A and B are shown apart, each in its own frame.
Chain A
Amino acid sequence: MLEGVVNLMGGRRRVNVLEIVVIAVTLAMIVAFSFVIDGFATPGNFKVILSNSVSLVILSCGMGVVVISRGLDLSLIAVMVAGATIFSVQIDAGMPASLALLVTIGAMVLVGLINAWLIAYVEIPAMLATLASAMLVAGLCRFAILRGEFLVLLPQSNPAVMFFASDIVPGISVPVALMLATLFACWFLLHYSAAGRTLYAMGDNFQAARLSGLPVRTTTITIYIFAAFAALLAGLVTSSASGAVDFRTVTNGGLLFEVILAVVLGGIPLRGGRGGVRNILLGVALIAVMRNGMTLMNFTTQTQDVFKGLVLLLAVVTDNYLNPRDTETDTVGDL
């Protein structure tokens, strides 16, 4: 019956059903954790949830935009770590922070351009192109820049560490301000730019978008540069907060999994064409609350992974049920 009701609705309305499910589950968890866990429902804990989610939100903005256009950026975490590495190495070498940041932005834009060129011009599937570039970027950084090192430990005197640990205005830390800026940029890109309208069309039906004369190639460039830029910001925030740039974040794969989980859970289907900033926030909220609750309940990381995997599976199945495959989807194909 639910399927029948849902099918009567338009596409946007159908997504709303999944959003409602995610909101309900998040609220249910908040209520349950508030009763079960001492100290969960406190302003301080919600502040911790927020600060622990900053990099996830920024990365999810990058991934969300890519997924809406029916792409996938598996190089996101490698770019994040590479950006933080390049910046830190330059700072260690005594370069001024502003110049180091400019060079790093340039390098990351180049990675985004290469990804976009491989996808839009060489026409390699996004998943394979970004998987290859992830390996290339991580490997190149480790062996050409770090000479085999796996970690860069940042002292407290590092200007990036000092900057990101400060408040931009009283009560709002620099990372939180950057997260808000990224969310605004993402919202603006999706709703108030030509590239934004084009990427929805690309996600809905790529062939139709291209045949109708939309600039799919230049839009792909915009999308992947935006994703690379988001990854760089997340890298700077994360490395400054933890005091380390750690290449195991790339090899472990856990963070990439969380980013895809946040995007899909929030209601941006992997087949693209739908979703927005609201979906990113919903997905991250669910993961952040779940992660915080499980940490407070002293669950092991392995147990946490099991629960996150189950939730992702549930979300994909629900999405498939609410947005069933049709002739158009089959024609255009999945990722």
Chain B
Amino acid sequence: MLYGMGDKLRSATKGILIGACIALGVSAPAFADSNIAGKKVIFVPITMGISLTEGWARRMNQHADIYGYSVDIRDAAFNTGAMSELLAKAISEKPDVLVVHNPTVQLLSRQIKQAESEGIKVLQINLQSNQSSAAFVGANWERIGREIAEDIVAECGAGTGKSGKVAIIPGQLTAADSVMMNDAAFKVFEQHPEMEVVSNQASDWEPEKARQITATVLQQHPDLCAIFGHWDVHTIGAGKAVLDAGLDDQVLVYATGGGDDVACKAIEDKVLDRMWSYDADGQGRDAATMIDVLLQGGAAADGSMLIVESPMKIIKAGDAYDPDLCWKM
């Protein structure tokens, strides 16, 4: 009898445990909801109105809708002065998470430090300042610069019969991505004496300036082998200059970017040849997930910066070209 009671007790306990597990399982998202619903996130991008930031904002808003927190976007519209003011205003509003898109390594570092000291978790997206914070989601610029430089060496260096001449077109020489990509690329080129960087002039991110610089450089170096543009948008101007000069079969145009369908169209049009895409759409989802984690109190055990590196998609013209590697808003 005792044995029978024990069985019943065991069955009842099992039932309670399974029921509790099911109940917990069902209520798990509700727990997450109640934990972060109503919290406030402020996103201060360099500008809205470009696929990169619009793609990020779309994913952030999707997560905000699911979990019930708010995402306010403060558009600096490429105005760094306005960006500092917007960030100061955002800090004064004491959001739970602040998402910052740094135009340079230095510009917002003091404000990021101030925000962190006031208990606001700062997520830096894609472009990192020299001030660390709670988290960073974005591309590994050192890796992109190194990989593109290595690819250029393979295409233009010793044994290829090419000139080894490269033109680099950064956005701004002090921009975080340009600084890191140039450092990494020059380290690679220095190991290959046959490589020569004939031009390293910033285009201020403008396609027309990039076109004019490229047209001039091509005139002086008609045997140019490759162009390394730091952003696909302005590099499209450089690619147009190569096309206009009728050198599209000789000069390889490399770019980096968020990898939306415009980039694939540029590759189809032979304006760009190779593209290291950090997949802005995927980045937006990573950033949104990181926001969820930060809002739930997530932090590195040793207090260091949480880092999520964006996976690369390398889109190349030719037989390997795959338009599915690009995303569409």
Contact at B269–A156, with CB atoms within 8 Å?
yes
Q: How far is the CB of A234 from chain B (nearest CB, A)?
A: 11
Contact at B202–A243, with CB atoms within 8 Å?
no
Q: Which of B199-220 contact A (CB under 8 A)?
A: 199-213, 215-217, 219-220
Contact at B244–A242, with CB atoms within 8 Å?
no
Q: How does the 8 Å CB contact mask read for A238-249 relative to B, with 1 for contact and 0 for none?
A: 100111101111
Taking the complex as formed, is B233 at the interface, i.e. its CB lies under 8 A from any CB of chain A?
Answer: yes
Contact of B208 among A39, A165, A249 (CB under 8 A): A249
Taking the complex as formed, is B262 at the interface, i.e. its CB lies under 8 A from any CB of chain A?
Answer: yes
Cα-based distance from A155 to B49 in the complex (angstroms): 19
In the complex with contacts A153-B262, A242-B211, A146-B49 CB distance below 8 A? yes
Q: Identify the closest chain A residue to B173 (Cβ).
A: A300
Contact of A241 among B47, B48, B240 (CB under 8 A): B240
Q: Which of B205-250 contact A (CB under 8 A)?
A: 205-213, 215-217, 219-222, 233, 236-237, 239-240, 243-244
Interface residues on A, range: 35 or more
Q: How far is the CB of B99 from chain A (nearest CB, A)?
A: 18
Residues of B close to A48: CB separation below 8 A: 215-216, 219
Contact at B208–A246, with CB atoms within 8 Å?
yes
Q: How far is the CB of B203 from chain A (nearest CB, A)?
A: 7
Taking the complex as formed, is A318 at the interface, i.e. its CB lies under 8 A from any CB of chain B?
Answer: no
Cα-based distance from A216 to B243 in the complex (angstroms): 47
Residues of B close to A252: CB separation below 8 A: 78, 204, 206
Taking the complex as formed, is A149 at the interface, i.e. its CB lies under 8 A from any CB of chain B?
Answer: yes
Contact at B269–A45, with CB atoms within 8 Å?
no
Residues of B close to A248: CB separation below 8 A: 78, 204-206
Contact at A156–B271, with CB atoms within 8 Å?
yes
Residues of A close to B113: CB separation below 8 A: none
Taking the complex as formed, is B77 at the interface, i.e. its CB lies under 8 A from any CB of chain A?
Answer: yes
In the complex with contacts A244-B236, A298-B199, A45-B204 CB distance below 8 A? no
Contact at B216–A295, with CB atoms within 8 Å?
yes
Q: How far is the CB of A50 from chain B (nearest CB, A)?
A: 11
Contact at B219–A45, with CB atoms within 8 Å?
yes
Contact at B220–A301, with CB atoms within 8 Å?
no
Q: Identify the closest chain A residue to B172 (Cβ).
A: A301
Cα-based distance from A316 to B84 in the complex (angstroms): 34
Contact of B207 among A44, A47, A156, A244 (CB under 8 A): A244
Taking the complex as formed, is A16 at the interface, i.e. its CB lies under 8 A from any CB of chain B?
Answer: no
In the complex with contacts A244-B207, A295-B213, A142-B49 CB distance below 8 A? yes
Can you give 25 A-B contacts (C-beta < 8 A)? Answer: A37-B220, A38-B220, A45-B219, A48-B219, A150-B49, A155-B269, A156-B243, A157-B269, A165-B244, A242-B208, A243-B239, A243-B271, A246-B206, A246-B208, A248-B78, A248-B205, A249-B206, A251-B78, A252-B206, A292-B216, A295-B212, A296-B220, A298-B201, A299-B201, A300-B202
Contact surface of B with A, Cβ cutoff 8 Å? 47-50, 54, 77-79, 173, 198-213, 215-217, 219-222, 233, 236-237, 239-240, 243-244, 262, 265-266, 269-271
A-B residue pairs, 8 tightest by C-beta = A150-B49, A39-B220, A242-B207, A244-B207, A156-B269, A242-B237, A242-B208, A295-B216
